[in-house]
């Protein structure tokens, strides 16, 4: 009997020690808010978007540290999947779509906050910065390279582009001479098909 009890306690001790040494599985923390809200948490986080049935965004992963953020996501556009990227380095916000790098753009965060026309900002994907979504977040060891935009992409300054379009449109209305070819090329950088068509129509682009 003593031998059986000794064996039982020995097995219990072994199992207890083994259990203590087993790696703990981190449980995600649910979070609802915008990218801006995530940054304000002042934590190093990797957050996976909890997509909803029928939503335009099918998958997304966001990374935040200090005042920086990045989101990599897939969106369903006209039944086609597009892989898009969003980076905020604390000063600039960069957005681009794989396969459409010639339409990549950037905007200063201060300009984004002051923009009165939200339609253009939404068209370029900048509304993702303020959109409240559901996430499951994990602790993350920051990799600063994640927040560096690709060097091979020419990012168009969105604010300057909109100022130029506005100035040129005013000149057209006043009967002045403008470089319509250049303006029509700016319309081509708009990713939303309806907004692009409206831009070209207003300028009589071919």
SS3 content of the chain, % helix, strand, coil (to 5): 40, 30, 35
Same domain, 108 and 181: no
Report how many domains make up the chain.
2
Residue 14 lies in a domain: no
Give the domain extent around 176: 160-202
Same domain, 56 and 89: yes
Please give the Cα distance from 146 to 155 (Å, whole number).
17
Answer whether 68's CB lies under 8 Å from 90's CB.
yes
What percentage of the chain carries pLDDT values higher than 70?
A: 64
Same domain, 118 and 173: no
Residue 88 lies in a domain: yes
Same domain, 113 and 38: yes
Same domain, 128 and 183: no
Same domain, 192 and 168: yes
With residue 64 as reference, give the H or E element that holds it.
strand 57-65
Residue 48 lies in a domain: yes
Largest CA distance in the chain: 107
Same domain, 109 and 143: yes
Q: Which two tokens stand for residue 189?
A: 């950088």
Please give the Cα distance from 171 to 165 (Å, whole number).
10
Position 138 scores a pLDDT of 95
Q: Residue 75 half-sphere exposure, CB side, CA atoms within 13 Å?
A: 15
Residue 147 lies in a domain: yes
Position 173 scores a pLDDT of 66
Residue 20 lies in a domain: no
Nearest to 201 by CA among 187, 186, 181: 187
Answer whether 57's CB lies under 8 Å from 51's CB.
yes
Answer whether 57's CB lies under 8 Å from 49's CB.
yes
Same domain, 143 and 168: no
58-89 confidence digits (pLDDT tens):
889 999 999 999 999 988 878 888 899 999 99
Same domain, 58 and 138: yes
Q: Is 142 helix (H, G, I), strand (E, B) or coil?
A: coil
Same domain, 92 and 169: no
Domain boundary among 116, 132, 152: 152
Same domain, 148 and 170: no
User: pLDDT below 50 — which residues of the chain?
Assistant: 2-5, 7-19, 116-117, 119, 121, 123-124
Same domain, 180 and 140: no
Q: Which two tokens stand for residue 2?
A: 């003593």
Q: H/E/C letters for each residue in 161-185? A: HHHHHHHHHHHHHCCCCCCHHHHHH
Residues 6+ apart with CB under 8 A from 17: none
Residue 100 lies in a domain: yes
pTM listed for this prediction: 0.68
């Amino acid at each position: 009997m003593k031998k059986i009890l000794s064996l039982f306690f020995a097995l219990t001790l072994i199992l207890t020690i083994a259990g203590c040494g087993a790696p703990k599985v981190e449980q995600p923390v649910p979070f609802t808010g915008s990218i801006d809200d995530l940054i304000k948490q002042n934590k190093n986080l990797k957050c996976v978007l909890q997509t909803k049935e029928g939503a335009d965004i099918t998958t997304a992963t966001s990374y935040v540290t200090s005042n920086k953020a990045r989101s990599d996501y897939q969106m369903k556009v006209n039944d086609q999947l597009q892989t898009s990227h969003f980076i905020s380095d604390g000063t600039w916000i960069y957005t681009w779509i794989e396969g459409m790098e010639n339409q990549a753009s950037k905007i200063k965060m201060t300009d984004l906050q002051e923009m009165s026309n939200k339609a253009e900002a939404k068209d370029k994907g900048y509304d993702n910065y303020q959109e409240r979504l559901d996430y499951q977040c994990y602790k993350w060891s920051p990799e600063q390279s994640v927040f560096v935009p690709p060097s091979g992409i020419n990012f168009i300054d969105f604010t300057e582009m909109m100022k130029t379009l506005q100035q040129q449109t005013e000149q057209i209305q006043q009967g002045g001479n403008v470089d319509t070819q250049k303006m029509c090329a700016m319309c081509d950088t708009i990713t939303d098909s309806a907004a692009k068509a409206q831009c070209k129509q207003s300028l009589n682009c071919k």
